[in-house]
C-alpha cells in the first residue's frame, strides 16, 4: 500500500500554485509573451494535478 498523503500534498500545492500564477498573470499588466509563458506554466500545473489525481484513484 502506498502512502497517499504526499500525493495529496502535491496535488494541493500544484493546484494552488497554478491558480495563483493564473491570477497574477491575468490581473497585472504584462506583455503578451510573459502572459503566455505564465499561462503555460499554470496549464502544466493543472495537468500535473489531473495526472496525480488519476494516479491516486487508480492505485
pLDDT at position 59 is 64
Domains of the chain, by residue range, sit at: 5-58
In a structure prediction context, what are the per-residue pLDDT tens digits for the chain, which is 59 residues long?
Answer: 567 788 788 778 878 888 888 888 888 888 889 888 888 888 887 888 788 777 777 76
Q: Decide: 18 and 42 in contact? Cβ < 8 Å.
A: yes
Burial of residue 21, with CB atoms counted within 10 A of its CB: 0-12 exposed, 13-18 middle, 19 or more buried = buried
Amino acid at each position: 500500500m502506498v502512502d497517499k498523503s504526499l500525493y495529496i500534498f502535491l496535488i494541493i500545492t500544484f493546484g494552488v500554485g497554478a491558480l495563483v500564477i493564473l491570477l497574477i498573470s491575468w490581473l497585472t499588466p504584462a506583455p503578451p509573451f510573459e502572459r503566455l509563458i505564465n499561462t503555460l506554466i499554470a496549464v502544466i500545473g493543472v495537468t500535473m494535478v489531473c495526472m496525480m489525481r488519476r494516479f491516486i484513484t487508480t492505485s
